[in-house]
Amino acid sequence: MIKNQKFLKIGWLYPDLMSTYGDRGNIICLIKRCNWRGIKTELIKINLNTPIKYLINIDLIFGGGAQDKQQEIVIKDLLNNKAKIIKKLISKSIPALFVCGSPQLMGKYYETVNNKKIKGLNIFNMITKNPSKSKKRCIGNITAEVILNNLDRKYINKSKIIIVGFENHGGRTYLQNGTKPLAKVIKGYGNNGYDKTEGVIYKNAIGTYLHGPFLLKNPEIADYLIAKALFVKYGNLNKLLKLNDSLEYKAKQAVLNK
């Protein structure tokens, strides 16, 4: 390794079970945006049989989406084996991004359409309920404005951030007791289709229903996570090298134009 070269270890939760909507794109985005800046990365795929020792020194966590059956398999393993270390990492301000189904598992519980409660890790103070089979799923393109004051402004060089993506979820999420949302919905459903909130924030962990390759169209969030990971590990506030994001913003604009 080059002297003084920065290094981040990225942990990908259950890629074999929770990668339903092209979530791999988020991992590719994080790795590429690090490597383009000369930041070395190592990807740790965390599966059912991954020993706890491999999670201890992770610098950034990512979790993707899945259907109810896969979520039940994952939450069983989390609660029985990995919950303690993941909660410890989040409490130590290790940055994390949970998209689609995985934020539900990080909440207090997820109630399925059959009224079965799946206990979560209680990292995010929120609950999720799938109301009934007669209720339409929350499906479609979504646009939201990030609530910048809910993030660490030292790592944001913009006065406004619009995020775009696609949502497809039956569950409705309700934030509890002043829990901070990531954004305010401009168009789409967001957490529940009623209160205009989208996503959730706790310390440096972010949850969002904007699934699939979310970071590719929203590089500001990718860079925020990378910058926070570097600060937690190395303790400096150096700005990230600016990248040419013209293609990323064209992709974002294409969604905004729909």
What tokens appear for 234 in the block? 């190395």
Query: To 5 degrees, how large is the angle CA 214–CA 46–CA 86?
Result: 85
Q: Judge whether 100 counts as a catalytic residue.
A: yes
State the CB neighbour count (10 A cutoff) for residue 232.
17
Instruction: Give me the catalytic one of 34, 100, 138, 169.
Output: 100
Task: Answer yes or no: are the C-beta atoms of 117 and 28 closer than 8 Å.
Answer: no
Residues in the chain, overall count:
258
Strand order in the sheet with 117-119: 117-119, 109-111, 126-129, 172-175
Q: Dihedral of the CA atoms 55, 29, 101, 147 (nearest 10)? A: 100
Q: Judge whether 34 counts as a catalytic residue.
A: no
Instruction: Give me the catalytic one of 29, 34, 169, 211.
Output: 211
- What is the set of active-site residues? 100, 211
